[in-house]
Amino acid sequence: MITGSLVALVTPMKTDGSVDWDALNKIVDLHLEKGTDSIVAVGTTGESATLDPTEHCQVIRAVVERVAGRIPVIAGTGANSTAEAIHLTAEAKQAGADACLLVVPYYNKPTQEGMYQHFRTIAEAVDVPQILYNVPGRTACDMDNHTVLRLAEIDNIVGIKDATGDVVRGKALIAAAPEDFAVYSGDDPTAYQLMLAGGAGNISVTANVAPAEMAQLCAIARNGESEAAELMNNRLMPLHEKLFMESNPIPVKWLMADMQLIDYGIRLPLTVLAEQYHDEVRAALKASGV
């Protein structure tokens, strides 16, 4: 089971929108140095929606090659087309990804049975560990715990990223799921609470700018140190909050560029963070002690 701090890695881009491969290597190296437990490549934060299929697979392969087996790599391969998700998942497996992250189909709003059949079909088509991803704020479609538990019975569906921020619901899922089924938080502000309740880790946006701190927080929370985890989370809360002042990954990419980790590139329809938010985001970084 992959555990701890799993960064939802940005895809660095130059100001013309092209992928910045040199910067990608540098930020992968940063996470290896700072103790990140796993890298999630080309998820929502990695702008999967605007990378074409070739670029999508190239970024996954580049991350896998740079990591070179030192930590697990999880590839974002979800789509609202089952056939496309199968294609991306197969390509990620061939590239050497350790697991794949598959989002609930967006826009077309399938039923619970439709979600079950979608994920079951992908799991049967590609023999690689697969992690479900429920983020109703993005997809306009919410996969309920009953459907997750049905899918958990499939051998290579090994976990879920729950980005609802509903800790009570997450705790209920942890209690009901098989012991080897991993429940990850996808909500930075509440992730420590889910880990204290038995969650496997946190797929984190904040870890892009605070990798060492998020790795430490996840380790403390998974060790059951509730008071220390709450204190550290409170320290990081300004970042958790301000990194969502505009749609993710707008604020985190801007802050990383301000920190000179990447360039300011981002793809339309997303735009560079509005100027009126710059000082607030900088202040959040300072307040967090990063």
| Residues designated catalytic | 133, 161
What HEC string does the chain produce?
CCCEEEEECCCCECCCCCECHHHHHHHHHHHHHHCCCEEEECCCCCCCCCCCHHHHHHHHHHHHHHHCCCCCEEEECCCCCHHHHHHHHHHHHHHCCCEEEEECCCCCCCCHHHHHHHHHHHHHHCCCCEEEEECHHHHCCCCCHHHHHHHCCCCCEEEEEECCCCHHHHHHHHHHCCCCCEEEECCHHHHHHHHHCCCCEEEECHHHCCHHHHHHHHHHHHCCCHHHHHHHHHHHHHHHHHCCCCCCCHHHHHHHHHCCCCCCCCCCCCCCCCHHHHHHHHHHHHHHCC
